[in-house]
Amino acid sequence: MSANLSTRVFDSVFEMLPNEANPSPLVRINTLHPLAAEIAAGTSTFELFAKLEWMNPFGSVKDRAASYLIRELEAKGAIWPDKADKKGRGIVEPTSGNTGISLAAMASVKGVHMRAIVPEKVPEEKKVMLRIAGADVDVLTDAMCPSPGMGEGALGMARSYAKAQGDRYVMPNQYENHANVQAHIDTTGPEIWRQTGGKITHFFTSLGTCGTVTGVATFLKAKNKNIKIIAVQPSAGHDVPGIRNKDELHVTKLFDASLIDEIIEVPFEKAYTSALGLCQREGLFAGPSSGLIFEGARMVLQRDKPAQGLGVAIFCDNVFKYISSMTKHLPALAGEP
Amino acid sequence: MSYAFPDALVSTNWVKENLKSPAVRIVEVDVDTKQYGAGHVPGAVAFNWNTQLQDQINRDIISKDDFEKLLSSAGIKPTDTIVLYGDNNNWFAAYGFWLFKYYGHADVRLMNGGRSKWLAEDDKPLTADVVAFAKSDYKITAINADLRAKVPQVLEAIATRNSNLIDVRSTDEFTGKIIAPPGMTETAQRAGHVPGAKSVPWAQTVNQDGTFKSVDDLRALYKTAGLIEGKPTIAYCRIGERSSHTWFVLKYLLGVQDCKNYDGSWTEYGNLIGAPIERS
């Protein structure tokens, strides 16, 4: 039986991975629409949608890149499970969590082992999720002395495994591998184009590996070069897991400034208040990176007040993996005074 | 113009060529020792900065006896050439270099660019295999106590202005905007800097790839900062490892003869009752 998208019956979890025929949902922003007053006054018809990437099978936008990375490794014969006469060769990857969770879940189904290298500041929930998904987890500490922006720790350690134990590990390297970008050229971009009937005028996302922004922008700009690509970044010294300030982008080779119309900076604490607002007023259980992107969209739209158009904001993952981060930044959520 | 003591700094290529030399012993010192476990330079041993190079009861460097035991257990002999390297631009490796010199080891070298440079070069092998070396009987015969500054020397430098004081922490730590970078467990009661200290953050001494800048660039850097040539010099940071990095630059690359590392650094000075502090 092949996937039946009308009844949503699938032969395996892999068939649930998103694509143009099986897109992640777009949900209209209603109560918190940044131009609600203008719409009520009849001076704007701008529509804003959230693309709910947490509806992907392993819970985040990273399912897309991870599935392409694994597919590429399989096609090259670079990974295999343990066999009677041959030890398996698995995956090692530096990750703030979501790519690792997706990679580990997919690798586990295939019997391939996965080692995730995560920075200490990644929330505990994500570390546990990585282990639940079947990964071995190395948590790197820089507690003795911080080295902001040096990009060495997790990336260097994953490279070390791949170099010193190449018979056991290969590193897909989401920061350099074009498969990360291709996933969004092939899936996210076409999904948005189809879901909006080609009416999209504004695309909002964050910066991390930059696979999403580069891939989606490549596709959308080819369709309509006037579509505005807006990247939302947290303020320097931020504490929003999984995304980067532009000063931290030296670790990725997938950033292409020529595709981005604007990078807007948001005070990082807003990621948390904005996420909470989305949870409580839109019923969208958005995590902090989604909150940050929404806040960036709000700032741009309230500044520019477009009379018409259609915006799509990537909502990377939901809030469940960030309970500790949410309570750290919004202590009232823990019932504290 | 070359460095004052060019032999103290070796390239990754030199280390590769000397991997099989029995008189060359390679020591990795990292912020996080999991790095060594993932892969290291063949034949390297790892010393843990926190648990093996520090006294575990008193706040102090490892004792003479414990240093002898540590080196003996690693099979290191006083005649060996020691090459140190590590992560984070060799911060902790530089601390290891300083400690080897403090305890009088003759031939100590730092691998330029550290762990990340070795890792980035395709022709440099990396292994997870740990070599078991036969134990040695390492004996320390002389201690170079003049390489270390303690509180009295720092207070004397403030009072007499007889020394350059170099603060290698971030600008925000120097000016007193913050006591320590966010999330740090070792901190102080007060923010600011030692009166009269010049701010030269450690990162200004290295290139993008972590290798040291040229001697001319380094000389210009400290001249601009107001370092007076010929004067004794004391470097400090927060816990003493970044200042070891700058101490290495000043003493071995620029040839500052009387150069001390104040390893107590701000986590000691910023907690002292009555010590004068400047903020700016």
Give the whole-angstrom CA distance, residue B179 versus residue B200.
Answer: 17
Predicted confidence (pLDDT) at residue A238 exceeds the cutoff of 70: yes
Give the whole-angstrom CA distance, residue B48 versus residue B209.
Answer: 24
Domain end: B128, B145, B162, which one? B145
Mean pLDDT of all residues belonging to chain B: 95
Whether A299 maps to a domain, the answer reads yes
Indicate yes or no: CB of B91 within 8 angstroms of CB of A145. Answer: yes
Torsion, Cα of B237, B239, B243, B245 (10° steps): -140
A329: part of which helix (H) or strand (E)? helix A323-329
Predicted confidence at residue A1, as pLDDT, reads: 56
Mean pLDDT over A18-35 rounds to 98
Q: How far is A156 from chain B (nearest CA, A)?
A: 7
pLDDT digits (tens, 9 = 90+) for B213-271: 999 999 999 999 999 989 999 999 999 989 999 999 999 999 999 999 999 999 999 99
Whether B275 maps to a domain, the answer reads no
A226, A192: one domain: yes
pLDDT cut 70: percent of chain A above it? 96
Mean pLDDT over B202-222 rounds to 93
Which one of A148, A156, A161 has the shortest CB-CB distance to B115? A156
Predicted confidence at residue A92, as pLDDT, reads: 97
DSSP A203: E
B137, B191: one domain: no
Domain end: A170, A187, A207, which one? A170
Residues 129-188 of A with CB under 8 A from B: 138, 140-148, 150, 152-153, 156-161, 163-165
Compare all CA atoms of chain A with the CA of B129 and give the residue at the minimum distance: A164
Whether A2 maps to a domain, the answer reads no
Domain end: A147, A170, A193, which one? A170
A38, A125: one domain: no
pLDDT cut 90: percent of chain B above it? 87
Whether A1 maps to a domain, the answer reads no
Indicate yes or no: CB of A160 within 8 angstroms of CB of B238. Answer: no
Burial of residue B23 (CB within 10 Å: 0-12, 13-18, 19+) is exposed
A120, A204: one domain: no
B134, B11: one domain: yes
Cβ-based contacts of A142 with chain B (< 8 Å): 31-32, 88
Read off the tokens for B114.
């550290």
Are A105 and A128 in contact, with CB atoms under 8 Å apart? no
Taking residue A152's Cβ as centre, other Cβ atoms within 10 Å add up to 23
Instruction: Give catalytic residue positions of B.
Output: 237
Predicted confidence at residue B176, as pLDDT, reads: 94
**By three-state DSSP, how is residue B170 classified?**
coil
Residues 159-218 of B with CB under 8 A from A: 181-186
A67, A32: one domain: no
A29, A157: one domain: no
A71, A102: one domain: yes
B173, B257: one domain: yes
Whether A7 maps to a domain, the answer reads no
The closest alpha carbon to B259, from B93, B152, B101, belongs to B101
A187, A317: one domain: yes
Domain that residue A213 falls in: 13-55+178-334
B77, B113: one domain: yes
How confident is residue A337, by pLDDT bands cut at 50, 70 and 90?
low
Indicate yes or no: CB of B181 within 8 angstroms of CB of A150. Answer: no
The closest alpha carbon to A192, from A225, A231, A223, belongs to A223
Query: In CATH, what number is assigned to the domain containing residue B191?
Result: 3.40.250.10
Which one of B40, B115, B239 has the shortest CB-CB distance to A145? B239
Predicted confidence (pLDDT) at residue B68 exceeds the cutoff of 50: yes
pLDDT digits (tens, 9 = 90+) for A56-94: 999 999 999 999 999 999 999 999 998 888 899 999 998
Predicted confidence (pLDDT) at residue A292 exceeds the cutoff of 70: yes
Burial of residue B214 (CB within 10 Å: 0-12, 13-18, 19+) is middle
B128, B34: one domain: yes
Residues 88-117 of A with CB under 8 A from B: none
Predicted confidence (pLDDT) at residue A147 exceeds the cutoff of 60: no
Predicted confidence at residue A151, as pLDDT, reads: 47
Predicted confidence at residue A247, as pLDDT, reads: 79
What is the number of H-type helices and E-type strands within chain A?
Answer: 11, 10
Are B46 and B28 in contact, with CB atoms under 8 Å apart? yes
Domain that residue B189 falls in: 148-269
B136, B16: one domain: yes
Indicate yes or no: CB of A153 within 8 angstroms of CB of B50. Answer: no
- B35 in reach of chain A (CB within 8 A): yes
A161: part of which helix (H) or strand (E)? helix A153-164
The closest alpha carbon to B188, from B91, B81, B271, belongs to B271
Cβ-based contacts of B31 with chain A (< 8 Å): 141-142, 144-145, 147, 153
Instruction: Point out which residues pair with A269 in neighbouring strands.
Output: none
Indicate yes or no: CB of A147 within 8 angstroms of CB of B38. Answer: no
Q: ipTM above 0.90?
A: no
Whether B1 maps to a domain, the answer reads no
Indicate yes or no: CB of A160 within 8 angstroms of CB of B239. Answer: no
User: Which of A156-170, A256-270, B182-196 has the least mean pLDDT?
Assistant: B182-196
Number of independent structural domains in chain A:
2
How confident is residue B181, by pLDDT bands cut at 50, 70 and 90?
confident
Domain end: B145, B168, B196, which one? B145
Are B273 and B155 in contact, with CB atoms under 8 Å apart? no
Predicted confidence (pLDDT) at residue A26 exceeds the cutoff of 80: yes
Domain end: B119, B145, B171, which one? B145
Compare all CA atoms of chain A with the CA of B42 and give the residue at the minimum distance: A164
Predicted confidence at residue B184, as pLDDT, reads: 73
A142: left (phi over 0), alpha (psi -120 to 50) or beta: alpha
Mean pLDDT over B42-55 rounds to 94
Label each residue of B189-244 as H, E or C: CCCCECCCCEECCHHHHECCCCCECCHHHHHHHHHHHCCCCCCCEEEECCCCCHHH
B124, B152: one domain: no
B171, B183: one domain: yes
> Cα-flanking dihedrals φ and ψ of residue B55, to 5°?
-65, 140
Q: How far is A251 from chain B (nearest CA, A)?
A: 13
Predicted confidence (pLDDT) at residue A267 exceeds the cutoff of 70: yes
Predicted confidence at residue A150, as pLDDT, reads: 43
How confident is residue B134, by pLDDT bands cut at 50, 70 and 90?
very high
Whose structure tokens read 């041993």?
Answer: B45
Mean pLDDT over A249-267 rounds to 92
Per-residue CA distances from B6 to A36, B15, B25, B43 (Å): 68, 15, 19, 24
Query: In CATH, what number is assigned to the domain containing residue A185?
Result: 3.40.50.1100
Predicted confidence at residue B245, as pLDDT, reads: 96
Number of independent structural domains in chain B:
2
Give the whole-angstrom CA distance, residue B223 versus residue A91.
Answer: 49
Indicate yes or no: CB of A150 within 8 angstroms of CB of B31. Answer: no
How confident is residue B23, by pLDDT bands cut at 50, 70 and 90?
very high
Q: How far is A264 from chain B (nearest CA, A)?
A: 24
